[in-house]
């Protein structure tokens, strides 16, 4: 049976196949952070093995070329693995006798790497700088300091060379990793949330009725029939009944105004720009179900419903919903952040300390608002409440039924929900008289699906109206704040 030998070319081929399979798995499972982390770890080990192999091969070749030949061969004495009388002052890093691998340089690197690592981690812990960058940089610096210390105390030249190579490779790999995950601001302006220009209003919408014609059965009578009808009803009698079906209510957008606030014409906002649109953005987080009811057949229906109920907003509402992560939320311009961000989940909500700082900055410094939606179980519900208490610096309160957010532009008689995963009471967090968080406990976005999650249409309609009310509230508050910030 023929044997299979791992030659360098075959190892290179296998490494390439691994990278392709790993990236394919990441595309298939984009919401599994451990898949990406494990892939980077294996990629690091593959690169390290190749580095050690090439280093040893090149070092042996250099040493073999440096062995003197002929009659003038000077005897060389080996002391603790070092060759006395060998090459000195070499600058080739692949040469074990290069001057890089002395103990002095190792101690120098150890001192400065330790100092840099401690400073970076201290700044990250105190919140002075971006923790998502400083924290990993501090960890890398401390790991490299450990390798530098080991290099300084190693007595064998080959060991010092190998440790130095590992440190240099780790630093290069860390730089590649950070560059691969670095979020650059897009030159096309995607880090700016532009409101649509115009000037609507949020006048309460009247509850109109729909006239439904109920036509009674008609009888066709044969005058020559042997059947006698006593006082037959008139043939064309129509019984007119009024029902409370809300499918065809009068909308403010059908009149002279539109959804929004300001002095412009049509729907829109006073601080808006031409081409600006109302968007619905949800936040990616650790819960596997962060994207439940996302996109086509889900929360995109809310945007479509907004245009149907406010026709003058046509062209001023985005056609697709969006998903962003914490870093992208922090990249929005100071005075052009999204007015509303949706956070939904089933099992957990556990942002890191850096992520919490992004949320705190978003609701306090950038005047944003968060819509939380419990989509299943009680774990997400309790985790979300705990995180919001910490981020806002206050505690939740029950949102009254007569609050403007429940009355404008539509009056919501009672809280509509699909399943009361976290109860039947809406809670909110208020800062400076403004709702910064609205927490719906009963799977609000489930009602926006094509199948309405099996609930009655009248309840689903109320869920749409509540979603429009929250969108309107967040955008009006943000518009007023933007105009107050203008010089």
pLDDT at 186: 45
Q: Classify residue 447 as left (phi > 0), alpha (psi -120 to 50) or beta.
A: alpha
Stretch 122-135: mean pLDDT: 66
Whether 392 has a pLDDT exceeding 70, the answer reads: yes
Please tell me which residue, 278 or 82, carries the higher pLDDT value: 278
pLDDT at 30: 47
pLDDT at 10: 54
Model confidence pLDDT, tens digit, residues 135-183: 777 777 777 777 777 777 776 677 777 777 777 777 787 777 777 665 5
C-alpha of 485 from chain center: 27
Average pLDDT of the residues of the chain: 77
Angle at 93 between CA 89 and CA 94, to 5 degrees: 110
Task: Average the pLDDT over each of 36-40, 116-120, 385-389, 400-404 and give the range with the smallest value.
Answer: 36-40
Judge if pTM exceeds 0.75.
no
- The residue among 391, 437, 282, 420 whose CA lies nearest residue 344 is 282
Helices (H), ranges, 232-370: 300-309, 326-330, 353-364
pLDDT at 354: 87
Q: What are the b/e assignments for 98-110, b being 16+ CB within 10 Å?
A: bebbeeebbeebb
**Judging by beta carbons within 10 Å of its beta carbon (0-12, 13-18, 19+), is residue 252 exposed, middle or buried?**
buried
Calpha distance 197→276 (Å, rounded): 7
Please tell me which residue, 110 or 98, carries the higher pLDDT value: 110
Calpha distance 273→336 (Å, rounded): 11
Task: Average the pLDDT over each of 25-34, 187-196, 302-311, 453-462 and give the range with the smallest value.
Answer: 25-34
Whether 329 has a pLDDT exceeding 60, the answer reads: yes
106-110, 248-252, 468-472, range with greatest mean pLDDT: 468-472
Percent of the chain predicted with pLDDT > 90? 38
Helices (H), ranges, 365-456: 379-392
Per the CB < 8 A criterion, the answer to whether 382 and 348 are in contact is no
Stretch 27-46: mean pLDDT: 63
Task: Average the pLDDT over each of 126-135, 188-197, 370-379, 444-453 and give the range with the smallest value.
Answer: 126-135
pLDDT at 320: 94
| Residue matched to tokens 């959804």 | 259
The CA–CA distances, whole Å, from 410 to 70, 84, 328, 456 equal 99, 89, 32, 19
Stretch 198-215: mean pLDDT: 58
Helices vs strands, H then E, count in the chain: 10, 13
Please tell me which residue, 268 or 149, carries the higher pLDDT value: 268
Please tell me which residue, 203 or 290, carries the higher pLDDT value: 290
Calpha distance 229→219 (Å, rounded): 10
Could you tell me the pLDDT band of residue 249, with boundaries at 50, 70 and 90? Answer: very low
pLDDT at 207: 47
Calpha distance 264→282 (Å, rounded): 29
Whether 3 has a pLDDT exceeding 70, the answer reads: no
Percent of the chain predicted with pLDDT > 70? 69
Beta-bridge partner residues of 260: 268
pLDDT at 196: 92
What does CATH list as the number for 252-485? 3.40.50.12140
Domain map of the chain by residue range?
A: 36-63+85-181, 252-485
Task: Average the pLDDT over each of 87-91, 325-329, 347-351 and give the range with the smallest value.
Answer: 87-91
Whether 189 has a pLDDT exceeding 70, the answer reads: no
End-to-end Cα distance, the chain: 83
Could you tell me the pLDDT band of residue 132, with boundaries at 50, 70 and 90? Answer: low
Please tell me which residue, 423 or 236, carries the higher pLDDT value: 423
Per the CB < 8 A criterion, the answer to whether 162 and 106 are in contact is no
């Amino acid at each position: 049976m023929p044997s299979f030998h791992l030659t360098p070319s075959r190892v290179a081929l296998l490494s390439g196949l691994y990278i392709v399979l790993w990236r394919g798995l990441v595309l298939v499972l984009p919401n599994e952070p451990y898949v990406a982390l494990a892939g980077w770890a294996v990629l690091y080990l593959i690169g390290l093995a190749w580095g050690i192999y090439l280093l040893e091969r090149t070092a042996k070749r250099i040493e073999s070329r440096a062995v003197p030949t002929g009659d003038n061969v000077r005897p060389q004495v080996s002391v603790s693995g070092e060759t006395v009388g060998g090459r000195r002052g070499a600058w080739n890093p692949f040469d074990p006798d290069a001057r890089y691998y002395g103990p002095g340089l190792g101690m120098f690197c150890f001192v400065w790497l330790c100092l840099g690592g401690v400073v970076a981690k201290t700044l990250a812990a105190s919140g002075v700088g971006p923790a998502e960058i400083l924290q990993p940089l501090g960890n890398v610096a401390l790991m490299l300091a450990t390798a530098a210390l080991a290099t300084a105390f190693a007595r064998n030249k080959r060991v010092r060379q190998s440790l130095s190579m590992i440190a240099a490779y780790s630093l290069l790999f860390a730089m590649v990793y950070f560059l691969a995950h670095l979020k650059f601001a897009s030159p096309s302006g995607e880090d700016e949330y532009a409101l649509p220009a115009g000037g609507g209003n949020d006048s309460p919408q009247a509850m109109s009725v729909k006239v439904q014609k109920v036509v009674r059965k008609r009888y066709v009578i044969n005058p020559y029939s042997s059947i006698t009808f006593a006082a037959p009803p008139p043939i064309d009698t129509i019984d007119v009944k009024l029902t409370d079906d809300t499918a065809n209510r009068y909308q403010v957008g059908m009149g002279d105004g539109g959804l929004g606030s300001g002095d412009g014409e049509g729907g829109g906002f006073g601080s808006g720009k031409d081409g600006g649109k109302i968007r619905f953005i949800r936040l990616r987080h650790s819960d596997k179900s962060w994207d439940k009811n996302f996109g086509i057949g889900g929360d995109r229906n809310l945007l479509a419903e907004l245009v149907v109920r406010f026709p003058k907003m046509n062209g001023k509402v985005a056609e697709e919903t969006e998903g962003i992560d914490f870093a992208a939320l922090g990249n929005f311009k100071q005075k052009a952040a999204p007015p509303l961000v949706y956070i939904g989940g089933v099992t957990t909500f556990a942002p890191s300390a850096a992520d919490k700082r992004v949320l705190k900055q978003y609701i306090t410094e950038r005047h944003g608002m968060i819509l939380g939606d419990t989509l299943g179980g009680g774990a997400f519900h309790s985790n979300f409440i705990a995180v919001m208490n910490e981020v806002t610096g206050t505690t939740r309160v029950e949102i009254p039924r007569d609050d403007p957010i429940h009355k404008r532009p539509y009056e919501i008689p009672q809280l509509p929900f699909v399943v009361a995963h976290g109860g039947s009471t809406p809670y909110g967090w208020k800062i400076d008289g403004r709702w910064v968080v609205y927490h719906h406990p009963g799977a609000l976005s489930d009602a926006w699906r094509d199948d309405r999650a099996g609930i009655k249409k009248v309840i689903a309609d109320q869920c749409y109206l509540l979603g429009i009310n929250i969108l309107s509230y967040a955008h009006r508050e943000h518009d007023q704040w933007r105009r107050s910030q203008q010089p």
